[in-house]
Amino acid sequence: MDVVTYLAGVPEARRPALVRLRELCLAELTGFEETIAYGMPVYVRPGETEGEIAWANQKQYISFYLMRTDVRDAFTDRLAAHDMGKACLRFRRPDTMDFTLVRDLLRATAQAGPGQVC
């Protein structure tokens, strides 16, 4: 499966938000490889084996996975107002996705250079 096929299989109501999320990932994660792993889109730095960013359509929400602890720590204040697990930012309604925050997280990940993922 590829990401286009993945997107074709998500509910129509969530597809625009997921397409926008993908577009942000492709624009901000320059040089990263887009692949499918664990059944979801994942972005991996060339030469690395672990993804640093991923996202998925879940039953109750859209997940945005930020696997870089250093980037999460740098955004603690901005993430505090959101539903955030260890590495998963959950958006229960596509129309309330904070794309500015997502863009800033993607930029910080790309600029951070290679690092440890959780």
The CATH classification of domain 3-111, taken from the options 3.10.580.10, 3.30.465.10, 2.40.37.10, 3.90.1150.200:
3.90.1150.200
Instruction: Quote the pTM value.
Output: 0.93
Give the type of residue at 27: A
Domain boundaries, the chain: 3-111
Residue 116 has pLDDT above 80, yes or no: no
The radius of gyration of the chain's CA atoms, rounded to the nearest angstrom, is 13
User: What tens digit of pLDDT does each residue of 53-96 get?
Assistant: 999 999 999 999 999 999 999 999 999 999 998 899 999 999 98
